[in-house]
Every structure is written in structure tokens, then in C-alpha cells.
């Protein structure tokens, strides 16, 4: 069985191990963290900084997916956009690279959507995926996320996706 729990500082060491090369770093969204390679300390510092912001209190929720043995196998964040507590964004989605393609990312985001719609009571969840990350795009589409627009960005274009409460099943 797979379950979600809030991120803990010690999880950063596990997440760091999954970001083995610069392409994975970029696709994960690591450019917001600075330069590759990334360290566990950099990840944890970013999360503490975001959790401590007072201009948007209670805005940033990092999560991990863990298995029956308590091993962390996936990670993502949730955050409200611009103080709008009805719209939530998922980001920094990553799964242990040795487990990719086995449904862990799908299950993690299913649980995230359940939490978003049933506990946080949001109306919409958004995310962005690079155009060249077809496995992730396919995963998000299978959960009901719909393509909304393509945003021209560096290093790759981003497909903005969303799922509304009415489309959540």
C-alpha cells in the first residue's frame, strides 16, 4: 500500500539521490533551486523558506509518498496560487528513478487530488509539464488533467494543465 505524509527534513537526502543528472534536475523544476547539482541542504532550505513566508501564510505543502516499509518513493508539493485558496498547484513532482513507469507517480497524485478536493476543498488543481516529458504528461492526462495552454519558456516549453472539481472522480 502507498500512502502520503508531509515532507520531513530528512526526506531531502532521498529526493537528492533521484536527481542524478542535469536533465532530470531541469524536468523536476530544479532551475528554481539554482544550479545543478542539487544538495539535500538546498532542497530543505527552499522548503523551510517557503513554509516560513508570512506574505502568504499556510501556502506551501511538500509531501512524500511512502510504501509499506516506510520507504520514501515519491515527492511533490502543493501550493496555493496568489492567495487564492480555491486554486491549488502541484509541482516538483518526482518518483524514485528505479520505480518510474510502475504507477507510483499516478498513485501519488491520485492521493494528492483526493486531499486537494476532499480535504482542502479547492475548485481547481493546476500543474505544468515540459513538452519533452511525455511520460509525465501521459500520467497527468490519465488522472483527468487537461491541457490548457503551452507557455514558451527556457529550457523547454511548458504545457499548463488543470483539473476541475467537476472533472474529478
pLDDT for 56 equals 52
Q: Residues in the chain, how many?
A: 169
Q: pLDDT confidence of 51, banded at 50, 70, 90?
A: low
Dump pLDDT digits (tens) for 93-116. Answer: 999 999 988 999 999 999 999 999
Domain coordinates in residue numbering, the chain: 3-167
Angle between helices 11-18 and 40-51 (to 10 degrees): 120
Helices within the chain (DSSP H only):
11-18, 22-28, 40-51, 104-114, 134-142
What is the residue-averaged pLDDT of the chain? 92
Quote the pTM value: 0.92
How far is the C-alpha of 112 from the C-alpha of 133, rounded, in Å?
20
Residues 6+ apart with CB under 8 A from 4: 63, 64, 65, 66, 108, 111, 112, 115
Statement: 3-167 belongs to CATH 3.40.50.970: no
Amino acid at each position: 500500500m502507498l500512502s502520503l505524509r508531509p515532507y520531513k527534513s530528512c526526506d531531502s537526502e532521498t529526493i537528492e539521490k533521484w536527481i542524478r543528472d542535469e536533465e532530470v534536475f531541469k524536468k523536476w523544476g530544479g532551475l528554481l533551486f539554482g544550479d545543478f547539482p542539487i544538495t539535500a541542504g538546498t532542497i530543505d532550505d527552499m522548503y523551510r523558506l517557503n513554509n516560513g513566508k508570512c506574505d502568504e501564510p499556510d501556502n506551501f505543502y511538500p509531501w512524500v509518498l511512502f510504501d509499506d516499509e516506510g520507504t520514501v518513493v515519491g515527492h511533490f508539493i502543493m501550493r496555493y496560487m496568489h492567495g487564492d485558496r480555491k486554486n491549488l498547484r502541484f509541482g516538483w513532482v518526482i518518483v524514485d528513478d528505479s520505480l518510474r513507469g510502475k504507477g507510483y507517480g499516478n498513485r501519488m497524485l491520485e492521493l494528492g487530488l483526493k486531499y486537494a478536493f476532499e480535504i482542502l476543498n479547492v475548485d481547481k488543481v493546476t500543474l505544468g509539464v515540459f513538452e519533452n516529458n511525455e511520460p509525465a504528461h501521459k500520467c497527468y492526462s490519465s488522472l483527468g488533467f487537461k491541457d490548457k495552454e503551452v507557455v514558451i519558456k527556457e529550457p523547454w516549453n511548458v504545457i499548463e494543465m488543470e483539473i476541475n472539481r467537476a472533472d474529478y472522480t
